[in-house]
Structure 1
Amino acid sequence: MFSLRVVANMKLSELVNLGFPREGISLLIEDGIETLYPPQEEAVKKILSNRNLLLSVPTASGKTLVAELAIMRNLGGKTLYIVPLRALANEKYEEFKKYEALGLKVALSTGEYDSKDEWLEDYDLIICTSEKADSLLRHGARWMEEVSLLIVDEIHLINDYSRGATLEMVISRMRRINPDVRIIGLSATIGNPSDLAEWLDAELVSSDWRPVVLREGVLLGHEVFFGDGEVRRVNKIKGDSAIDLAVDAVIDGGQSLVFLGSRRSAESLAIKISEVLRKFLGEEELNNLSRIAESIEEVTQERTELAEKLARCVRGGVAFHHAGLHPEHRRIVEKKFKSREIKVVCATPTLAAGVNLPARRVIIRDYRRYDMGSMIPIPTMEYKQMAGRAGRPKYDEYGEAVLISKSLNEMNFLMSRYVLGRVEEISSKLSSLPSLRFHVLSSIEFCKNFEELLEFFSSTFLGHAVGVREIEDKVSQVIEFLIENGFVIEQNDEYKLTIFGKRTSELYLDPVSSLIIRDGAVKGEEEKKVSEIGLLHLICSTPDMERLSFSKRDYLLMEEVDNEHLLIDPPDEFEDPIGFKEFLRSLKTGLLLKDWIKEMGENEITKKYRIGPGDLRRILETAEWLLYSTREISRLFELRRVRKISEELRKRVKYGVKRELLPLVSIRGIGRVRARTLFNKGIRNREDLLRLGVSGLERIDGIGKKLAEKIIRDLESSGNSKG
Structure 2
Amino acid sequence: MIRAAFIGINKHLDPLARELSGAVGDASTLCAVLSDSIDRFQPTLITDHDATYARVSAIFDDVLDGASEDDVVILFFAGHGTQDHRLVLTDTRSDDVPGTTIDMTEIAAKFRTSRARAVLLLLDCCFSGGAPARVLDVGYIPRAAGMPLAEVGGQGRILFAACNPNEEALEDPQTRHGLFTKAILDCILESDGPVSVVAMVDRVVQMVRANAARFGYEQTPVMFGHVEGELTLPKGMRGECYRALYPERGTVTVTGPIGELSAYGIPQNALNAWSDRFPAGLNSLQIAAVNSHGVLDGKSLLVVAPTSAGKTFVGEMAALKAIGEGKKAVFLLPYKALVNEKFEDFSALYGDLLNLRIARCSGDWQDQVGDVLRGKYDIAFFTYEKFLALSVSSPHILHQIGLVVIDEGQFITEPGRGMVVELILTNLLSARERGIAPQLATLSAVIGDTNNFERWLDCELLLTTERPVPLTEGVIDRSGVWKLQRPNGEVEVAQLFARCEIRQRRDKPSSQDVLVPLVRHLAGQGEKVIVFRNARGPSAGCAEYLAAELGLPPAQAIADMLPGMDRSDMSERLRRALNGGVAFHNGDLNREERMIVERGFRDPNGGIQVLVATSTVAAGVNTPASTVIVAETEFRGVEPQPYTVAQYKNMAGRAGRLGYETEGKAIVLADTGMERENLFRRYVQGSPERIQSSFDERSPGTWVVRLLAQVKDIPSNAVVDLVANTYGGFVASLRDPAWRGSMSTRLLNLMTRMQHDGLIDERDGRLRLTPLGRACGESPLSLESSMQAVELLRQLPPDSIGLETVLVLLEALPERDEDYTPQTRRGEPQRQQQVSQRFGQHVARALWHRAESDVKYYGRCKRALIVSDWIEGVTITDIETGYTTNPFSPIRHGDIRGFADGTRFLLDSVLRIAAIVLGRADDPDEVSTLLKRLDLGIPGAAFSLTELPIVLARGEILELWRNGYGSREQVEHATEAELVSLLNARGNMLYAALHEELAITGS
Above 0.5 in TM-score? Answer: yes
Q: Give the distance between the partners of 2:891 and 2:899, measured in 1 at CA.
A: 11
Structure 1, residues 502-540: CA drift from partner, whole Å, max 9, x if none? 3344554444444444443443335x6558985443111
Pair 364,120 (structure 1): closer, same or farther in 2 beyond 3 Å:
farther
2:694 corresponds to: 429
1:68 corresponds to: 316
Q: In structure 2, the residue corresponding to 1:366 is in which secondary structure?
A: coil
Q: Which moved more, 1:255-264 or 1:112-121?
A: 112-121
Pair 156,477 (structure 1): closer, same or farther in 2 beyond 3 Å:
farther
2:903 corresponds to: 623
Do the aligned residues in 1 keep the contact of 2:361 with 2:369 (CA within 8 Å)?
Answer: no
Q: Give the distance between the partners of 2:678 and 2:993, measured in 1 at CA.
A: 62
2:894 corresponds to: 614
Q: Give the distance between the partners of 2:468 and 2:635, measured in 1 at CA.
A: 31
Do the aligned residues in 1 keep the contact of 2:373 with 2:397 (CA within 8 Å)?
Answer: no
Pair 410,105 (structure 1): closer, same or farther in 2 beyond 3 Å:
same
Query: What is the deviation of 1:654?
Result: 5.5
**Paired residue for 2:330, among 80, 92, 96?**
80
Q: Which moved more, 1:594-603 or 1:331-340?
A: 594-603
Q: Give the distance between the partners of 1:187 and 1:72, measured in 2 at CA.
A: 20
1:234 corresponds to: 496
Query: What is the deviation of 1:348?
Result: 1.6
Alignment of 1:232-631 (within 5 A): 232-236=494-498, 239=503, 240-277=513-550, 279-281=551-553, 286=554, 289-298=555-564, 301-340=565-604, 341=606, 342-370=608-636, 373-431=638-696, 436-437=701-702, 440-441=705-706, 443-446=708-711, 447-467=713-733, 469=740, 471-473=743-745, 475-506=747-778, 508-526=780-798, 529-530=800-801, 535-545=806-816, 546=819, 548-551=821-824, 552=826, 554-562=828-836, 564-566=841-843, 568-569=845-846, 578-607=852-881, 608-609=883-884, 610-631=890-911
Q: Which moved more, 1:324-333 or 1:49-58?
A: 49-58
Query: What is the deviation of 1:417?
Result: 0.7
**Paired residue for 1:91, among 314, 331, 341?**
341
Q: Give the distance between the partners of 1:161 and 1:656, measured in 2 at CA.
A: 30
Query: What is the deviation of 1:130?
Result: 1.6
**Matched positions, count:** 702
* Residue 430 of structure 2 corresponds to residue 176 of structure 1: yes
Query: What is the deviation of 1:12?
Result: 3.4
Q: Give the distance between the partners of 1:162 and 1:358, measured in 2 at CA.
A: 27
Question: Given the two structures, how large is their TM-score scaled by the length of structure 1?
Answer: 0.86
Pair 230,488 (structure 1): closer, same or farther in 2 beyond 3 Å:
same
Structure 1, residues 592-629: CA drift from partner, whole Å, max 9, x if none? 12333454321121342523323322322333454455
Pair 643,626 (structure 1): closer, same or farther in 2 beyond 3 Å:
farther
Q: Give the distance between the partners of 1:67 and 1:705, measured in 2 at CA.
A: 41
Paired AA for residue 612 in structure 1: R
Query: What is the deviation of 1:95?
Result: 3.6
Do the aligned residues in 2 keep the contact of 1:693 with 1:712 (CA within 8 Å)?
Answer: no
Do the aligned residues in 2 keep the contact of 1:524 with 1:642 (CA within 8 Å)?
Answer: no
* Residue 440 of structure 2 corresponds to residue 157 of structure 1: no
**Paired residue for 1:46, among 290, 293, 299?**
293
Pair 387,658 (structure 1): closer, same or farther in 2 beyond 3 Å:
closer
Q: Which moved more, 1:582-591 or 1:251-260?
A: 582-591
Paired AA for residue 368 in structure 1: E
Q: Give the distance between the partners of 1:430 and 1:603, measured in 2 at CA.
A: 42
Q: Give the distance between the partners of 1:116 and 1:496, measured in 2 at CA.
A: 28
Query: What is the deviation of 1:116?
Result: 6.5
Q: Give the distance between the partners of 1:187 and 1:695, measured in 2 at CA.
A: 51
Query: What is the deviation of 1:408?
Result: 1.7
Q: Give the distance between the partners of 2:795 and 2:1002, measured in 1 at CA.
A: 39
* Residue 401 of structure 2 corresponds to residue 147 of structure 1: yes
1:224 corresponds to: 482
Q: Give the distance between the partners of 2:404 and 2:432, measured in 1 at CA.
A: 11
- Greater helix fraction, Structure 1 or Structure 2: 1
1:108 corresponds to: 360
Pair 436,473 (structure 1): closer, same or farther in 2 beyond 3 Å:
same
Structure 1, residues 663-707: CA drift from partner, whole Å, max 9, x if none? 6656537887677777777777566667x5548964974585653
Pair 31,701 (structure 1): closer, same or farther in 2 beyond 3 Å:
closer
- Rg larger in structure: 2
Paired AA for residue 557 in structure 1: R
Q: In structure 1, the residue corresponding to 2:443 is in which secondary structure?
A: strand
* Residue 964 of structure 2 corresponds to residue 707 of structure 1: no
Pair 486,424 (structure 1): closer, same or farther in 2 beyond 3 Å:
same
**Paired residue for 2:452, among 195, 201, 220?**
195
Query: What is the deviation of 1:390?
Result: 1.1
Do the aligned residues in 2 keep the contact of 1:631 with 1:646 (CA within 8 Å)?
Answer: no
Q: In structure 1, the residue corresponding to 2:420 is in which secondary structure?
A: helix
Q: In structure 2, the residue corresponding to 1:520 is in which secondary structure?
A: helix
Q: Give the distance between the partners of 1:334 and 1:155, measured in 2 at CA.
A: 23
Q: In structure 2, the residue corresponding to 1:46 is in which secondary structure?
A: coil
Q: Give the distance between the partners of 1:695 and 1:69, measured in 2 at CA.
A: 47
The percentage of aligned residue pairs carrying the same residue is 25
Query: What is the deviation of 1:305?
Result: 1.3
Pair 269,432 (structure 1): closer, same or farther in 2 beyond 3 Å:
farther
Q: Give the distance between the partners of 1:114 and 1:126, measured in 2 at CA.
A: 9
Query: What is the deviation of 1:33?
Result: 3.5
Do the aligned residues in 1 keep the contact of 2:264 with 2:321 (CA within 8 Å)?
Answer: no
Do the aligned residues in 2 keep the contact of 1:108 with 1:127 (CA within 8 Å)?
Answer: yes
Q: Give the distance between the partners of 1:114 and 1:638, measured in 2 at CA.
A: 30
Q: Which moved more, 1:404-413 or 1:610-619?
A: 610-619
Query: What is the deviation of 1:473?
Result: 4.8
Paired AA for residue 756 in structure 2: E
Query: What is the deviation of 1:273?
Result: 1.0
Gaps of 5+ in 1: none
Pair 108,671 (structure 1): closer, same or farther in 2 beyond 3 Å:
closer
Query: What is the deviation of 1:493?
Result: 2.7
Do the aligned residues in 2 keep the contact of 1:531 with 1:565 (CA within 8 Å)?
Answer: no
Question: Given the two structures, how large is their TM-score scaled by the length of structure 2?
Answer: 0.64
Paired AA for residue 46 in structure 1: H
Q: Give the distance between the partners of 2:917 and 2:613, measured in 1 at CA.
A: 47
Pair 157,435 (structure 1): closer, same or farther in 2 beyond 3 Å:
farther
Q: In structure 2, the residue corresponding to 1:230 is in which secondary structure?
A: strand
RMSD: 3.7
Pair 456,146 (structure 1): closer, same or farther in 2 beyond 3 Å:
farther
Paired AA for residue 591 in structure 1: L
**Paired residue for 2:469, among 204, 212, 232?**
212
Q: Give the distance between the partners of 1:145 and 1:645, measured in 2 at CA.
A: 29
Query: What is the deviation of 1:304?
Result: 1.5
Q: Give the distance between the partners of 1:146 and 1:218, measured in 2 at CA.
A: 50
Query: What is the deviation of 1:439?
Result: 5.6
